[in-house]
C-alpha cells in the first residue's frame, strides 16, 4: 500500500474544487447555444464558482472552431455563438488546490470530432494506475483519435496540478512517446485530449486576453500599481483576465505591466483557419487501484 494520505486536507480541497467544477461545467455547457453571449456564459460560470465556495483558477476559456486554448471574452465583449464548435475550459481552486476540466459543445454539425476527444479521454482514464507511464496514456489517446480519422494536437498536453500552480510536471502527451514518467499514487493530473481535422499542431494567434504574474517589481503608474496589488493578493501566480481587474483603464494598466516584465500573456492557441478542434478534460487523483475522477458529473 502507498504511504500517500489521500484523506488529507490537501486532497479534500482538490476534491471540493472538482465537485464545484463538475457542476459549473455542466451548467455552463447548457447555456452554450446559437445567439448566446460569450461574456455572459463566462461571467455567469465564474460567479457560480464563487457562489459554490471556490474561486476561478483561470478565466473561463471559450475557444471557437480552430481555436484550442487561451481564448476568453474581453471587457464589454459582444461576441455571440454561431453554428460553431465551442470548447469550454474551466478551472476552480479551493485555497490554491486546483481542478481543471473541459468539454466541447458542438453547434457545427461535427459531433464525431467532439466524440473523438471524449472517447480518447475515456480510454486514457481506463489505463491510469500507479506505474503507468505517461507515454502509454498518450498512446491510448492517439489510437482513439486516429480511429476516428482525425489528428491529436501533439503540442498541447495534459499536466500536473500544483498548489497555486496550474501547470506542473508531469506532462501527459496526446500521442505515443517512448519516454515519459511513471504516475504514482497521490499524483493529481489533468488529462486533456484535443482532436482536430487539421494538421495536429497549434500556433500562437494575434490576440491575448489572459495574463499571469511573471515577477513583482515597483511600478510608478497609479492604475498599474493598483492592478498589481489586486493581482498579487487575489490571483498570485494563477492566470487572470483583464476584465477581472477593479481599476480604471484596466487594459492600459495591463499593457504597462506587461511592458515592464511584470506580467506575461497567453496568446490564443489555434490551428489553421478553416479547421476545427475539440477537447475533453478531467482532473484525476491516482489511487492504489486506478484513479479517482474529481471532475466527473454527479
Q: Which residues are catalytic?
A: 89, 100, 159, 167, 192, 281
What DSSP character marks residue 193? -
83, 96 contact by CB (below 8 A): no
119 contacts: CB under 8 Å, gap ≥ 6 = 144, 148
C-alpha to C-alpha distance for 240 and 30, rounded to whole angstroms: 24
- Grid coordinates of 203: 500556433
* Residues 239, 144: Cα–Cα separation, whole Å: 31
Closest CA to 158 of 171, 168, 167: 171
Whole-number Å distance between alpha carbons of 242 and 245: 6
Amino acid at each position: 500500500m502507498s504511504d500517500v494520505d489521500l484523506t488529507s486536507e490537501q486532497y479534500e480541497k482538490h476534491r471540493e474544487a472538482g465537485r464545484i467544477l463538475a457542476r459549473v461545467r455542466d451548467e455552463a455547457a447548457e447555456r452554450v447555444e446559437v445567439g448566446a453571449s460569450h461574456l455572459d456564459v463566462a461571467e455567469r460560470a465564474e460567479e457560480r464558482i464563487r457562489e459554490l465556495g471556490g474561486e476561478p483558477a483561470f478565466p473561463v476559456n471559450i475557444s471557437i472552431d480552430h481555436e484550442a486554448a487561451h481564448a476568453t471574452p474581453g471587457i464589454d465583449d459582444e461576441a455571440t455563438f454561431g453554428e460553431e464548435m465551442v470548447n469550454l475550459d474551466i478551472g476552480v481552486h479551493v485555497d490554491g488546490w486546483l481542478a481543471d476540466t473541459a468539454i466541447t459543445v458542438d453547434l457545427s454539425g461535427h459531433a464525431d470530432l467532439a466524440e473523438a476527444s471524449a472517447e480518447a479521454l475515456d480510454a486514457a482514464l481506463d489505463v491510469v494506475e500507479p506505474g503507468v507511464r505517461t507515454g502509454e496514456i498518450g498512446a491510448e489517446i492517439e489510437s482513439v483519435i486516429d480511429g476516428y480519422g482525425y489528428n491529436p494536437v501533439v503540442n498541447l498536453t495534459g499536466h500536473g496540478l500544483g498548489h497555486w500552480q496550474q501547470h506542473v510536471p508531469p506532462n501527459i502527451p496526446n500521442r505515443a512517446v517512448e519516454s515519459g514518467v511513471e504516475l504514482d499514487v497521490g499524483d493529481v493530473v489533468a488529462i486533456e485530449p484535443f482532436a482536430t481535422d487539421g494538421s495536429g499542431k497549434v500556433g500562437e494567434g494575434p490576440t491575448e486576453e489572459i495574463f499571469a504574474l511573471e515577477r513583482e517589481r515597483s511600478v510608478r503608474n497609479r492604475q498599474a500599481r493598483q492592478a498589481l496589488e489586486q493581482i498579487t493578493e487575489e490571483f498570485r501566480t494563477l492566470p487572470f483576465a483583464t476584465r477581472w481587474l477593479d481599476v480604471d483603464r484596466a487594459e492600459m494598466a495591463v499593457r504597462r505591466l506587461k511592458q515592464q516584465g511584470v506580467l506575461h500573456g497567453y496568446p490564443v492557441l489555434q490551428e489553421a483557419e478553416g479547421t476545427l478542434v475539440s477537447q475533453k478534460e478531467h482532473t484525476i487523483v491516482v489511487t492504489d487501484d486506478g484513479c479517482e475522477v474529481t471532475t466527473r458529473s454527479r
